[in-house]
Chain A
Amino acid sequence: MQSYSALNLFRRGLGGHKSWTRAWRDPAPKSHYDVIIIGGGGHGLATAYYLAKVHGIKNVAVLERGWIGGGNTGRNTTIVRSNYRQPALHNLFEFSLKLWEGMSDDLNYNVMFSQRGALFLGHSDSDMIRLAERGDAMRCMGIDAELMSKAQLRKLIPLLDMSDEARFPVVGGLIQPRGGTARHDAVAWGYARAADALGVDVIQNCEVTGMDIRGGKIVGVKTTKGDIGADRVGICVAGNSGQVAAMADLRLPIESHLLQAFVSEPVKPMIDTVIMSQSIHCYISQSDKGEIVLGGDPDMYPTYSQRGRPDRIEEVAGQAIALIPALSRLRMLRSWAGTTDMSFDGSPIIGKTPVDELYLNGGWCYGGFKATPGSGWLYAHTLAKGEPHALNAPFRLDRFETGATIDETGAGPMPHHR
């Protein structure tokens, strides 16, 4: 693997940058692998990387239907945080956040992780009680959280509408200073390159079309590039988990919904933290290119179309402008939608399935991107040992039938927030 460094940039610049080679190989699939990972998103690539790096399992293939970075990894709003209230969730996301902090060095790839703070606004006394409760739960576990007063918020985000007449009056907030954003496609590319360097085959344009299951045990997969044998197979295709699991006759506690995101034209720095809210569903940040990145509620009905409904754009834009009136002068540049796995308690699934040697990682709802390194690390552990790590043990598939759901919002047996 060519090292990416300032020295190398300079040295190869002298040659007109013509000596750079491709970041990862384009291998043809072998006939058999120790582990096959279905899905070349951030989570699948991270899983392959940690399988090779931490567990020494290098005979691994990642099968990607499209191209690396073309799925949900490149469709999110790039927010990274671990400010959850329930222990199972904040343990998972805090573990992930710690991996984010060393990721660029570990991968020799700049993922532009920027810990600019992840702020939740409170709009009422009851919002502030819930934020304080969440902050207390986090601090008890050693996770950073600070309650913010109105005066502190005014200083942090001068453009926020702090007037009493505001549509969503701001009375305070809770910030996690170590939260922030990262460049999402760099995460996929960085993991693909690093996994490839350790011997993992990253195979693009290779769609899994069936599973070879004999006597309740998976022995391989059928793909558009031929049949491939495997000792162990990991599904990692959030958004399409139900489709892939159906190849093994499994029904999952998941509905596929759309989540949209929007970016404005680029402007000078105006928002230097990630803004979310306890009561309304709108998140606002500014990318390194200067674009204002917006996200909101999912589209609230099952669809795989990747085409969002326009009334959601109006709703999110309306909320964003109410919070920061200066945004009203911006033009929207692009909007897009990603298909997300909405699980029935709002929490992910990482663990075994009823089919021997077939494992599942999915059900990430809105929260997949921030979990990328932690999810990969824990899924790699699960695939290597055949047993879940203590951190992902609560996120097993059978928790729904045993009643051990992890329901952060208390929404009950419905896809999150319905």
Chain B
Amino acid sequence: MLLIHCPHCGPRAQAEFVFERPLESIIQIDEALPDLIPKLYSRVNPKGPSWELWRHTYGCQSWLKLHRDTHNHTIHAVLEIGQTPEGGDA
């Protein structure tokens, strides 16, 4: 089980968190149809580093941005919504 460092609550077990979707698949409210379909239905599904939207559902209920390796379980960063990583564009 992953140990996720929530920026609000500190280190908590993965059981408190829910994975939502990759950041690039977040759908804007005014999304154009050609962009909507791939965001709804297709995924890069990377084997390696991935920026993802998670939620601390059974804790502080905050939405969070995780930079996580899908192969070796390393968590590189946990950010609040609105925060951007140094040098990154997530």
Binding site for B on A (CB under 8 A): 240, 242-243, 246, 251-256, 300-305, 307, 309-311, 344, 400-401, 413
A242 to B43, CA, bound (A): 8
In angstroms, how far is the closest chain A Cβ from the Cβ of B23? 13
28 A-B residue pairs with Cβ-Cβ distance under 8 Å, sorted by A, are A242-B44, A243-B47, A246-B44, A251-B43, A252-B43, A252-B45, A253-B41, A256-B45, A256-B47, A300-B18, A301-B14, A302-B19, A302-B50, A302-B52, A303-B71, A303-B73, A304-B70, A305-B70, A305-B73, A311-B1, A311-B13, A311-B14, A311-B15, A344-B41, A400-B42, A401-B37, A401-B41, A413-B41
Question: Is B43 in contact with A304, judged by CB distance below 8 angstroms?
Answer: no
Question: Is A242 in contact with B45, judged by CB distance below 8 angstroms?
Answer: yes
B38 interface residue per 8 A CB criterion: yes
Q: Which residues of A contact B18 (CB under 8 A)?
A: 300
Contact with A along B45-57 (1 / 0, CB 8 A): 1010010100000
In angstroms, how far is the closest chain B Cβ from the Cβ of A338? 15
Question: Is A254 in contact with B72, judged by CB distance below 8 angstroms?
Answer: no
A303 to B80, CA, bound (A): 22
Secondary structure call for the A interface: mixed
A71 to B41, CA, bound (A): 26
In angstroms, how far is the closest chain B Cβ from the Cβ of A34? 30
A253 to B38, CA, bound (A): 8
Number of A-B residue pairs having CB atoms within 8 Å of each other in the complex: 63
**Residue of chain B at shortest CB distance from A310:** B1
B40 interface residue per 8 A CB criterion: yes
Question: Is B42 in contact with A251, judged by CB distance below 8 angstroms?
Answer: yes
Contact with A along B18-48 (1 / 0, CB 8 A): 1100000000000000000110111111010
Question: Is B45 in contact with A305, judged by CB distance below 8 angstroms?
Answer: no
**Residue of chain B at shortest CB distance from A303:** B70
Q: Which residues of B contact A302 (CB under 8 A)?
A: 19, 45, 50, 52, 70
In angstroms, how far is the closest chain A Cβ from the Cβ of B3? 11
A301 to B37, CA, bound (A): 21
A413 to B36, CA, bound (A): 12
Q: Which residues of A contact B43 (CB under 8 A)?
A: 242, 251-255
Knowing A242-B43, A243-B47, the reply to whether A305 touches B1 (Cβ < 8 A) is no
**Residue of chain B at shortest CB distance from A401:** B37
Question: Is A255 in contact with B37, judged by CB distance below 8 angstroms?
Answer: no
**Residue of chain B at shortest CB distance from A345:** B41
**Residue of chain B at shortest CB distance from A403:** B37
A303 to B45, CA, bound (A): 9
Question: Is A251 in contact with B1, judged by CB distance below 8 angstroms?
Answer: no
A305 to B1, CA, bound (A): 12
Q: Which residues of A contact B47 (CB under 8 A)?
A: 240, 243, 256, 304
Question: Is A301 in contact with B19, judged by CB distance below 8 angstroms?
Answer: yes
Knowing A304-B70, A309-B1, the reply to whether A251 touches B19 (Cβ < 8 A) is no
List the 9 shortest-distance A-B pairs measured between CB atoms, nearest first.
A242-B45, A301-B19, A251-B42, A400-B41, A253-B41, A309-B1, A413-B40, A311-B15, A304-B47
Q: Which residues of A contact B73 (CB under 8 A)?
A: 303, 305, 307
In angstroms, how far is the closest chain A Cβ from the Cβ of B38? 7
Q: Which residues of A contact B1 (CB under 8 A)?
A: 309-311
Question: Is A251 in contact with B38, judged by CB distance below 8 angstroms?
Answer: yes
Contact partner of A252 among B13, B37, B42, B72, CB < 8 A?
B42
In angstroms, how far is the closest chain B Cβ from the Cβ of A187? 27
Q: Which residues of A contact B14 (CB under 8 A)?
A: 301, 309, 311
A400 to B40, CA, bound (A): 9
Question: Is A251 in contact with B44, judged by CB distance below 8 angstroms?
Answer: yes
A300 to B43, CA, bound (A): 15
Q: Which residues of A contact B42 (CB under 8 A)?
A: 251-253, 400
A243 to B2, CA, bound (A): 23
Instruction: Given contact pairs A242-B43, A256-B45, A311-B1, enumerate 17 new A-B contacts (beta carbons under 8 Å).
Output: A240-B47, A242-B44, A252-B42, A252-B43, A252-B45, A253-B43, A254-B45, A302-B52, A305-B71, A309-B1, A309-B14, A309-B15, A311-B14, A344-B40, A401-B37, A401-B41, A413-B40
A254 to B44, CA, bound (A): 9
Q: Which residues of A contact B38 (CB under 8 A)?
A: 251
A300 to B1, CA, bound (A): 12
In angstroms, how far is the closest chain A Cβ from the Cβ of B22? 8
A243 to B45, CA, bound (A): 8
Interface centre among B19, B42, B43, B45 (most CB of A within 10 A): B45
Q: Which residues of B contact A311 (CB under 8 A)?
A: 1, 13-15
Interface centre among B19, B52, B71, B73 (most CB of A within 10 A): B19
A254 to B41, CA, bound (A): 8
Q: Which residues of B contact A305 (CB under 8 A)?
A: 70-73
